[in-house]
Amino acid sequence: MTNRPSPPIAMLAELTHRCPLSCSYCSNPLELTDRTRELTTETWIDVLGQAASLGVLQLHLSGGEPASRRDLEVLVKAARDVGLYVNLITSGIGLTTARLDALEAAGLDHLQLSLQATTADKADWIGGYKGGFARKLVLAEEVRQRGIPLTVNAVMHRHTIDDVGAAIDFAATLGARRIEVACVQFYGWALANRDALLPSRIQVTQAKDTVAKARRAYAGRITIDFVPPDYYADYPKACMGGWGSTGINVTPDGTVLPCHAAATIPGLVFDRVTEKPLSAIWHDGSAFQAFRGHEWMQEPCRNCARRDQDHGGCRCQAMALAGDAAATDPVCRHAPSRPAIDEILAQQVAVSPSFVYRSNKREKTSSVNIAAR
């Protein structure tokens, strides 16, 4: 790499791994960071300032549940003060009306509310938290009345994808301008739960139909972003503009990652904001340099006409399924490892196994049963 990378556009700040829910597809790592290792308020404020100077425009405050941090309002204010567009990604649990007041006063731009399911029984089962859905509804109504710009983020998998129409209607009644209907991506907790989460091909086809109809019905009212599961695609999803090209991710303890799942790739060395300036990490950090450009690519990606479109797909998925982070994403129909995906699809089980819920104790599994599909 000789070209200096252009500045990042977005930063995902994972403020904490603490969360009242324990979704089986959580994108946090299997090894969760303890509260005592979280960055201090002062360090976060400094990092936000560095991010803005580096060229970051969008800040996504995430977790875990970011509301688990008591200084959330302070961080929102600090981010706005340096000109960042502040998006809060939340389950809604832990946000009281008083805290919403404070967040609005601090200048929160936008709120993204996760939706585990559209009914209480199912949502609480999926989130592993009884009463969570009812609390989310109260918060959502409060957000609607205040007119806080809202995106609903409905996570789709085997147990929810058939309800995609209901999820979109639900988002519309909340006054959301956008809904993201993204299928679970399989790494981390979701990979551990893949058999319980992967939808069938028929489910995916039906969901595409439903989304197309909803797009017509809600045209001009609500934007629907739909990301079907890539296992059924011929080509991989594009790695967000290319590795180390648009996004930067800071974990609760200040580790800086090129993507939220990058820590699943062994051999990468990550810098920390407590040790190096953010701009040095972005420009020269070895983990960021690892998959920039085309040098690292193998065949068939290296000479493929689509290489600048999808950047060879997802590095983390290549690692997880082909055992080599520099391999072609196994989803690609040109990938030598595509048979691995076809094998997974062929072996789909008729009855869903129970979830391994996200927790600090890995052995905890679901004791609840809902009608297996």
Partner 1 sequence: MTTDPVPLLPRGTRLHQDRVRDTWVLLVPERALLLDEIGTAILQEVDGRSSLAAISCRLAERYGAPEPDVASDVREFLDGLVGQRLVDYQ
Residues that bind ligand SF4 (CB under 6 A): 235-236, 239-240, 243, 259, 261, 300-301, 304, 306-307, 310, 312-316, 328-329, 332, 334
DSSP state of 270: -
Instruction: Considering only residues 57 through 116, tell me which ones interact with partner 1, judged by CB under 8 A.
Output: 57-58, 83, 85, 87, 109-110, 112
Greatest Cα pair distance in the chain: 56
In the list partner 1, ligand SF4, none, the entry touching 310 (Cβ below 5 to 8 angstroms by class) is: ligand SF4
Nearest Cα neighbor of 229 from 301, 164, 133, 319 is: 164
Contact 106, 133 (CB under 8 A): no
**Single residue of 43, 223, 359, 366 touching partner 1 by CB under 8 A:** 223
Q: Which is nearer to ligand SF4, 214 or 259 (CB)?
A: 259
Angle, helices 120-127/132-146, rounded to nearest 10 degrees: 110
Taking the C-alpha atoms of residue 255 and residue 272, their distance in angstroms, rounded to an integer, is 4
Map residues 183-222 to x or -, x wherever contact with partner 1 holds by CB under 8 A.
-------------------------------------xxx
Measure the CA–CA gap between 114 and 20, rounded to whole angstroms: 13
Q: With CB cut-offs between 5 and 8 Å by kind, which of ligand SF4, partner 1, none does residue 334 bind? A: ligand SF4
Q: How far is the CB of 218 from partner 1 (least distance, A)?
A: 10
Q: Which is nearer to partner 1, 146 or 272 (CB)?
A: 146
DSSP 73-116: HHHHHHHHHTT-EEEEEE-STT--HHHHHHHHHHT--EEEEEES
CA atoms within 13 A on the CB side of 310: 22
Cβ–Cβ under 8 Å, residues 19 and 52: no
Alpha helices in the chain (DSSP H): 41-54, 72-81, 97-106, 120-127, 132-146, 164-173, 189-192, 194-197, 201-217, 278-284, 286-289, 307-310, 315-317, 338-346
By a kind-dependent CB cut-off of 5 to 8 A, residue 357 interacts, out of partner 1, ligand SF4, none, with none
Q: Considering CB distances under 5 to 8 angstroms, the limit depending on partner class, which of ligand SF4, partner 1, none binds residue 183?
A: none
By C-beta, is 14 or 73 nearer to ligand SF4? 14
Least CB distance from residue 216 to partner 1, whole Å?
Answer: 14
Kindly tell me which of 107 and 300 has the beta carbon lying closer to partner 1.
107
Contact between 336 and 4 (Cβ < 8 Å): no
Distance, CA of 123 to CA of 138 (rounded, Å): 15
| Contact residues for 365 (Cβ-Cβ < 8 A; gap 6+) | 354, 355, 356, 357
Alpha carbon distance 179, 170 (integer Å): 10
Candidates 135, 178, 208, 283: give the one binding partner 1 (CB under 8 A).
Answer: 178
Q: Does 177 bind partner 1 (CB under 8 A)?
A: yes
Give the nearer residue to partner 1 in terms of CB position, either 200 or 223.
223
Which of ligand SF4, partner 1, none has residue 316 at its interface (CB below 5 to 8 Å by kind)? ligand SF4
**Cβ nearer to ligand SF4, comparing 77 with 358:** 358
Shortest Cβ 58–partner 1 spacing (Å): 6
In angstroms, give the least distance from the CB of 314 to ligand SF4. Answer: 3
If the CB atoms of residues 137 and 240 are measured against ligand SF4, the closer one turns out to be: 240
Instruction: Estimate to the nearest angstrom the gap between the alpha carbon of 31 and the chain centroid.
Output: 17
Name which position in 34, 42, 55, 234 contacts partner 1 (CB under 8 A). 55
**Which one of residues 41, 53, 354, 366 is an interface residue with partner 1 (CB under 8 A)?**
53
CA 193 to CA 262: how far, in whole Å? 19
Of 120 and 344, which has the nearer Cβ to ligand SF4? 344
Residues that bind partner 1 (CB under 8 A): 7, 9, 53-55, 57-58, 83, 85, 87, 109-110, 112, 147-149, 151, 177-178, 220-223
